[in-house]
Amino acid sequence: MDTKLKGQTAIVTGSSTGLGQACAIGLAKEGMNVVVNYHSSDEEAHATAEQIESLGGRAIVVQADVSKEEDVEKLFSECEKAFGHLDVLVANAGLQADAAFTEMTLEQWNKAMEVDLTGQFLCARHAARIFRKQGVHQHGRAAGKIICMSSVHDRIPWAGHVNYAAAKGGVKMMMESMAQELAADKIRVNSISPGAIKTDINKKAWGTPDALNKLLTLIPYGRIGEAEDIANLCVFLASDLSDYMTGTTTYIDGGMTLYPGFRHGG
Ligand code: NAI
Ligand code: BGC
């Protein structure tokens, strides 16, 4: 299938590792220029860019903390300088700052909110301003596409992770409200909500055979997700193949949201 993404430009936040890295590489394989954003892992960011270049793509690396307005401005202006236009934002950067609810510090609460929710707001707002100014042009049917990396925990409550679940729940309503407001500008906004995907963020949940077996009881499809599963959906949402989709959340989770406990009861 021709995604017609060749020559388009994407910013992928937090793309030196994990899902962001896989999305950056997946988009580059379709011929996109990619801005690889990282927070602290300089080496991994450059390795990602090198991988993109070895696939024949163009990439630049930009350090920026997505929760800081001035850093986000720098991220978008470096993109403008290098590529002259922007077509896709993948607002992927995120973290967990876990604690039992009664032990959770204000710092842990704020950390999750600042990166997982405010970071997506700052990047999406900047992208929407650019898309509105650019309008629909030769690159495709939409003026621009925003993809928010949410989580099954925008829907599944998560004890011990109240800050993270609240931020991802916020992403869901932020994404839908942005989609409603920006549709007239031909800007599409959608979320990817992954289940358990094998990355650093959840190593504790798959790093030992015991942990993995426990995790698999929550996944009817019987395997943990791979970063490429998410990259494939990201490519689809970035392209005109999904042109009639806006304001949607796609759960990509091997069935984690299907109340797996009810397979054997109820
Ligand atoms: P990861 O830990 O490999 O990636 C997160 C990336 O975000 C890292 O590269 C990190 O440096 C970056 N980051 C953190 N704070 C940042 C900041 N202030 N500014 C810029 N970048 C920052 O983990 P993973 O799994 O790749 O996570 C990516 C996204 O996917 C996150 O939003 C996470 O919530 C989401 N997600 C992950 C799932 C999983 O099972 N792996 C499931 C559902 C959602
Ligand atoms: C979390 C992971 C977790 C997954 C499924 C994600 O949002 O970041 O740690 O494994 O949800 O519960």
The reported pLDDT for the residue numbered 1 is 81
Q: Give the integer Cα–Cα distance in Å for 221 and 34.
A: 32
- The residue count of the chain comes to 266
Asked whether the predicted pLDDT for residue 138 surpasses 90, the reply is: no
One DSSP character per residue, 32-84 reads -EEEEEESS-HHHHHHHHHHHHHTT--EEEEE--TTSHHHHHHHHHHHHHHHS
Q: Is 161 in the pocket of ligand 2 (CB under 6 A)?
A: no
Average confidence score pLDDT of the chain:
97
38, 164, 244, 251: which one is catalytic?
164
**pLDDT tens for each residue of 56-74:** 999 999 999 999 999 999 9
Domain boundaries, the chain: 9-254
Q: Is 205 in the pocket of ligand 2 (CB under 6 A)?
A: yes
Q: Which CATH superfamily is domain 9-254 in?
A: NAD(P)-binding Rossmann-like Domain (3.40.50.720)
Give me 224's structure tokens: 């943990």
Q: Are 191 and 237 in contact (CB under 8 A)?
A: no
Q: Is 136 in the pocket of ligand 2 (CB under 6 A)?
A: no
Alpha-carbon dihedral 69, 70, 74, 76, rounded to 10 degrees: 20
The reply to whether 164 belongs to the active site is yes
Q: Count other C-beta atoms under 10 Å from residue 116's C-beta.
A: 28
**pLDDT tens for each residue of 195-234:** 999 999 999 999 999 999 999 999 999 999 999 999 999 9
* pTM for this model (two decimals): 0.99
